Amino acid sequence: MSGCLARMAEQGFEELVLFHDAGTGLKTAIAIHSTARGPALGGTRMWVYPNEEAAIEDVMCLARGMSYKSAAAELPIGGGKGVIIGDPGRDKSEALFRAYGRFVEKLNGRFITAADMGIEEHDLDCIRLETRHVIGGSALGSPSPLTAYGTLKGIKACTEEVFGSPNLEGLIVTVQGVGSVGMALCKNLAEEGALLIVTDFDQKKVREAVECWNAKAVAPDEIYAQKCDIFAPCGGGGAVNLESLPQLQCRIVAGAANNVLKEKELGAALKERGILYAPDYIINAGGIIFVEFSRQGEKNLEKIKAVIDRIEGRMKEIFRRSREQNLLPEEVADLIAEEKLREKI
């Protein structure tokens, strides 16, 4: 927690709230980065963190990313995120999620939650029993396929930038993490003719990807060193770090994960190795676009997908400015997002 308030001030955070419910064992944090463009909308993640400090670090990084993601996508919402400290395979209960819902309700609509890693649609149904400020659930369906759809559009922009064509047929893509988003992305990539190499700690999901999409499976610690065209991280953050960077044998890093770069300086290191990086909050914005349009009452999926299609053009514009202004793609993305945040609406 040391320096937390200073970091909030430096990065423009509005609020960081911690909550513990003794009855259910709920330990959670919600970070609200910005409400300049509207209420802070962001998913809640349930994860096993090594300590409370790591959970707070994660929720702050994710919340800031949501502000930038929503602003760059020109959505009328701000950015926030929630984390629940716990094992999603062992610690879930209706009582725990209802306690979390009461916590969300206390924020009076400044934060609206949805699903993230470790949270399923039926979990949102439990949260909704205690708060109005939740999007998703069994009735709406998962945003994961739309996140994957937008990521595919962004990958096509990357391949056009690097290889001169958006055609993915015959390209080798390593997918790190085959949860709901990663599996949907595998489906999209396979249908485009890409060859897949996959990994996940959940071997059941790995076997499903192998059987459905004829993917090659490797151990989690072997994924980085696979010779491929595209590395697509679709799990937790920090996939590109000081240990994984020297192992990468790809031309493109483009996936659905948030906070792909463990440290900011790694973007320049990727460029030095001749690897194009797709800014994560630009390429993975399909899910939040779906969630926000659903919140507005839009039910026409084709209309929503037409908005998600703009990710491809947005990525191309970022790469153009990156070349012309001698900036890293993520630096261009930040400039665009910060400009939108200043504009408000």
Map out the domains of the chain as residue ranges: 4-69+77-128, 144-284+312-341
Task: Give the pLDDT score at 34.
Answer: 95
| DSSP conformation class of 283 | H
Return the active site residues: 81
Does pLDDT of 40 surpass 70? yes
pLDDT in tens, 200-214: 999 999 999 999 999
Alpha carbons 261 and 258: distance in angstroms, whole number: 9
pLDDT in tens, 147-198: 999 999 999 999 999 999 999 999 999 999 999 999 999 999 999 999 999 9
Q: Taking the alpha carbons of 225, 226, 228, 230 in that order, is the dihedral positive or negative? A: negative
Do 335 and 324 contact (CB within 8 A), yes or no?
no
Sheet holding 15-21, edge to edge: 15-21, 26-34, 78-85, 40-47, 111-115
pLDDT in tens, 51-62: 999 999 999 999
Does pLDDT of 312 surpass 60? yes
How many Cβ atoms are within 10 Å of 122's Cβ, its own excluded?
12
Distance of CA 60 to the CA centre of its chain: 13
Task: Give the pLDDT score at 141.
Answer: 77
Q: Quick check: do 4-69+77-128 and 144-284+312-341 share a fold?
A: yes
* Average pLDDT over the chain, rounded to an integer: 95
Task: Give the pLDDT score at 344.
Answer: 67
Alpha carbons 85 and 56: distance in angstroms, whole number: 10
Q: Would you state the CATH architecture of domain 144-284+312-341?
A: 3-Layer(aba) Sandwich (3.40)
Q: Would you state the CATH architecture of domain 4-69+77-128?
A: 3-Layer(aba) Sandwich (3.40)
Alpha carbons 4 and 79: distance in angstroms, whole number: 18
Alpha carbons 205 and 181: distance in angstroms, whole number: 12
Interval 136-151 mean pLDDT = 89
% residues pLDDT > 90 (the chain) = 91
Residue 174: what are its φ and ψ, rounded to 5°?
Answer: -95, 125
